[in-house]
Structure formats: structure tokens, C-alpha cells
Amino acid sequence: MKKSKRLDLIPPYLFVKIEEKKEELVKKGVDVIDFGIGDPDLKTPSHIVKKLHQAIDSKESANYPTSKGELVFRSAVSKWYKNRFNVEIDPAAEVCSLIGSKEGLSHIILAFVDQGDITLVPDPAYPVYKIGTLLAGGQPYFLPLKPENKFLPDLSLIPSDVLKKAKMLFINYPNNPTGAVADKSFFEKCVKLCRENDILLVSDLAYSEMAYDGFRPSSIFEVPGAKDVAIEFHSLSKTFNVTGWRIGMAVGNKEAVSALATIKSNIDSGAYKAIQFAAAEALTASQNCVAENNKIFEERRNILYDGLSSLGFKFEKPKATFYMWVPAPKAETSASFAEKLLEQAGILTVPGSGYGSFGEGFVRFAITIPKKRISEAIKRLTDIKISF
């Protein structure tokens, strides 16, 4: 049996290897404190679960959904965008439901990238941008995200010959893995670049509702004219603690949304209707549950940041996401430091190098564990005496 050559282009998915290592240690009796995958440990709000239960009992839920998703869900997305960002979205033509935003991000690449085309991919970044490009036959051109630039790419450094071949620009703010945020002036630069070079701007907004200290992340569509060049991906996973439900949406440019729906209609049969109905409830009901979640994550962030700072780690406190992008000691690589934390302290983190070459020198902590466990982690780190 001969596998396709495209499989040689992609490494094993980062978190599969991490979970395997964790399982090995747990079998040996190690009490592992898991700061690894960004999977909320909080409960799904009860009113959303109740709506799902009701929808499951509906005969309508058993039938195929439409390619773009149920109108009730798309209308809820439109209403949410209006309430949250004061942006008008046409539910009929400018919204497509997704089986989680990861699926949509990979499929939009198939809709626009041909063999040899270039995509502009931040580094470090969520691996799907790069892997999706390679699977489509494209070539990622990496845009370094450096701490001295507040983890924003310098768009002025992209060579003109690269821009001529580029089909897509990926941005993700609030950012995974760095926790960095961007203001509207950065989004304006992105829209301008894409308009001038006929590039599709792909905004990954999965963490827009996870923000602290009064910060309110923006949508790309708050920039005038962004719909001419942009499509934005959003997921309910982190906002409402429903990662396993697999529900999200793509919003924006009509041509891009339609192209994505065409790809999806030939590959999958859409998100389960009952989950779409429950997602519509989540988007249109009170958002107090989101604020309550953020209070919990903000407390956790403060405990971890204060603890790491007291041990000598120096980095900026994140204003959004539930990630902390922590520099490794100078004598360590990302991988060696992550391994040291796991083997000597039973603390599982993600090596930054797994997100790209410019992630080297960092490890990522996900604050998806209770405060008590975070405090225990700080105690363990104190005991192993990390030297800088």
C-alpha cells in the first residue's frame, strides 16, 4: 500500500505526541499538571446544554443541514456580530457554518490556493495555516512574530515578488500561541496590503471573547472596506466551553464565503443541526456566562504570571486568550526546557518550536486548570531551582 506524497509534507500533529508522552508518565504514577492543549475545563453554560437537549428531540435535527448552515444559526451569527462589533453581516450570503473553525481554515485554503501559490503565514502560529497550505500544494511564506514587535508581523518586509504570488494572508489576534493582541491600526494595514495586492485576508478570531483588564478585541470588519478582501473565522469552542461540539462560523466577503461553502458541500455534510440550534442560543442569549468565565481565567492568569515572575521569568502579561508564552532560560531550547519541566516537575507545557522556527526559545502554558493546580505548579518550579 503506497501512501500519497502529501503525507510526507506533514509531521505528526503536535498535540498527539504531547498526549502520548503524558500518558506514559501517568502510567508510571506521575501526577502531571497539564498546561498543554487549550481545552477549557469549565462547564458549558446550562442554558446552552438545555437547548441542545431540546434540539436533539426534534425530528428536524436528524436531517441533513444545508451547505452553509441553518438559517437560524446564520441569523444568530449576524445578530451577534452586530451586538458585539456593530458590524452588519448578511446571514444569507455572508455566513457559513463550520464543524469548528479548524475545519474551515483548512478548507478555505483549498478554495483559493493552487499548486505553487504562496500563503503568508505568521511564525509562530496555529499549525493549520502551514499544513493546510502544504496539503493544497501551496508554499507558506513565514512572517516572523518577534517580542520586540509585540508579536505583530512587519508587513513592510514582505518582498514584492512574494506579494505577487501570494493568495492569502493569515492573521490571528488575540493570538495563539503568544497571547498577543492587535489594535485597529494593524488591521487597517492588513486590509490595505491585501487590497493593493489582490490577496484574501483570513482573520482567525477564535479568542475574541477571552480578554482581560477591560480590553475588548476587534473584528477585522470594524475596518471600513474589509469585506472587499477579508473572511473571518470564529469558533464557539473557547467562548462557551464547547470544544468537542465542533461548531464555528466563517463570515465576510460573499465570494470567499460562497467558495468555502462549495468546498464544504463536496467534502462534508455540515454541522449537526441540533448543535447549530444550541449554538444559536449561545450567541443570542445573555453573554454573562462569558464574562464569568473570563473572571476565572483572569484570576488564573494572575496567579501564573505572578508566580513565574517571582521566579525570574520576564515577559509581558497577556491581555487575552488563555495562553502564556514564556521564554525558556538561555541555556535551554524549547524542547529541552519543556522536557525538563515534565521530567523534573511533572509539568506539561508545549515547546514553542512546535509552532514554527520563531517559536524557538519559548514554551506555552494553557491556563485550563484550577487555581490550586497552578499554585502547585509554581511550588514545583520553585523546588527545581530554574537558573537563568
Residue pair 74/95 in contact by the 8 Å Cβ criterion: yes
Q: Which domains does the chain have, with CATH numbers?
A: 5-43+289-384 (3.90.1150.10), 47-284 (3.40.640.10)
Full-model pTM: 0.95
How many whole angstroms separate alpha carbon 365 and alpha carbon 346?
13
Residues across the chain: 388
Give the whole-angstrom CA distance, residue 20 versus residue 6. 24
The pLDDT, as a whole number, for residue 310 is 96
Residue 152 above 70 pLDDT?
Answer: yes
Mean pLDDT in residue range 263-278:
96
Choose between 209 and 2: higher pLDDT: 209
Query: At 13, is the pLDDT very low, low, confident or very high (cuts 50, 70, 90)?
Result: low
Mean pLDDT of 190-217: 98
C-alpha cell at position 159: 518582498
pLDDT tens-digit profile of 14-26? 667 777 778 888 8
**How far apart (Å, rounded) are the C-alpha atoms in residues 366 and 293?**
15
Tell me, what's the pLDDT at 229? Answer: 98
Residues 6 or more apart whose CB falls under 8 angstroms from that of 160 comprise: none
